[in-house]
Amino acid sequence: SKDQYILAIETSCDETAVAIVKNERELVTNVVASQIESHKRFGGVVPEIASRHHIEQMTVTLEEALDESGLTIDDMDAVAVTEGPGLVGALLVGVNAAKSIAFSKQKPLVGVHHIAGHIYANRLEKEFEFPLLALVVSGGHTELILMREHGKFEIIGETRDDAAGEAYDKVARTLKLPYPGGPQIDRLATEGKETIDFPRAWLEDGSYDFSFSGLKSAVINRLHNAKQKGEVLKDEDVAASFQASVVDVLSTKAYRAAAEYEVKQMIVAGGVAANRGLRSALVEKFEHLDTELLIPPLHLCTDNAAMIAAAGAVAFNQGHRAGWDLNANPGLDL
């Protein structure tokens, strides 16, 4: 039978990304234009700057992806795009580009939820086996999601305040590390020791929810106290102690949930899945379970369009279609 190609666009935050996926699971091309350098000097993503960059990068990124693949838009079976959640001005650039391409070539259009994308990034590596759990840890999300079948997501736990990546970025800023802070803290943590006993927010018994704002405040207060007392704290040790707390809570709750729901697979997704401390803690914990642990390679952890194509392909094959009135939805529910 004929091969199926899905072209996907992702512009929800600070990466302009275009990818093509073949037959739901085969990555053909994955182009990501990062804006990190432009946002660095502001210590975070500036929405207005992000939108402008997306406008500049959209066409070149699309052309690069098509050139690399040797395919044309005529070869595509559908166009998928991230419709939310994310920055509204950023999302709009991708949504409008996808609508223009799909409309001009009369191709079906599919709207994709950004988090569904992060989860489906894993399917480019390994076929899903249900039921599965996904630990989604990114700059905007911290969720434990149960999937019993394709395209259906049950949130069994989520953050009540900051996302894990957000906590990393805020603590990094306090330590005057460049944006994005996650990778910086991850690097420092490997050079330090857990000398400070930071709190772990376990919340109520049996809860799979998370909370990181208390930890963030504890780090800030500890640094402040040290400064007042003239005590010298090594950044490496602060990073290692902070990371130990985050990793302990994330890996323990993921492990407990996997055991309770008796899932076949545990998927880790989102930018924080790149964290070396988290990866090794999960590997160690899951050795004791029959659950298969899937952690995507780094280029599939952070924002990309391959994951949107992977999720979009399944949605398309399940019959989902967006209309020409598809709009960016910054608060889209999963």
Minimum distance of ligand KG4 from residue 5's CB (angstroms): 25
Please state, as a whole number, how many other Cβ atoms lie within 10 Å of the Cβ of residue 131.
16
Residue 180 binds ligand KG4, judged by CB under 6 A: yes
Instruction: Output the six-digit token pair for 226.
Output: 């040290």
Would you say 140 is a known binding-site residue?
A: yes
Minimum distance of Zn ion from residue 38's CB (angstroms): 18
Residue 186 binds ligand KG4, judged by CB under 6 A: yes
Residue 165 binds ligand KG4, judged by CB under 6 A: yes
Nearer to ligand KG4 by Cβ, of 178 and 318: the residue is 178
Residue 139 binds ligand KG4, judged by CB under 6 A: yes
Start-end of H helices in the chain: 36-40, 47-69, 88-105, 114-120, 164-174, 181-191, 213-229, 235-261, 276-286, 298-301, 306-317
**Distance between CA atoms of residues 246 and 213, nearest Å:** 11
Minimum distance of ligand KG4 from residue 209's CB (angstroms): 19
**Distance between CA atoms of residues 233 and 227, nearest Å:** 9
Nearer to ligand KG4 by Cβ, of 15 and 209: the residue is 15
Nearer to Zn ion by Cβ, of 83 and 303: the residue is 303
Residue 303 binds Zn ion, judged by CB under 5 A: yes
Chosen residue from 84, 111, 117, 271 binding ligand KG4 by CB under 6 A: 271
DSSP code of residue 67: H
**Distance between CA atoms of residues 90 and 87, nearest Å:** 5
Would you say 303 is a known binding-site residue?
A: yes
Which residues have a Cβ under 8 Å from the Cβ of 230 and sit 6 or more positions away?
none
**Distance between CA atoms of residues 303 and 296, nearest Å:** 12
Residue 166 binds Zn ion, judged by CB under 5 A: no
**Binding residues for Zn ion (CB under 5 A):** 138, 303
**Binding residues for ligand KG4 (CB under 6 A):** 13, 138-140, 165, 168-169, 180-183, 186, 270-272, 274-275, 302-303
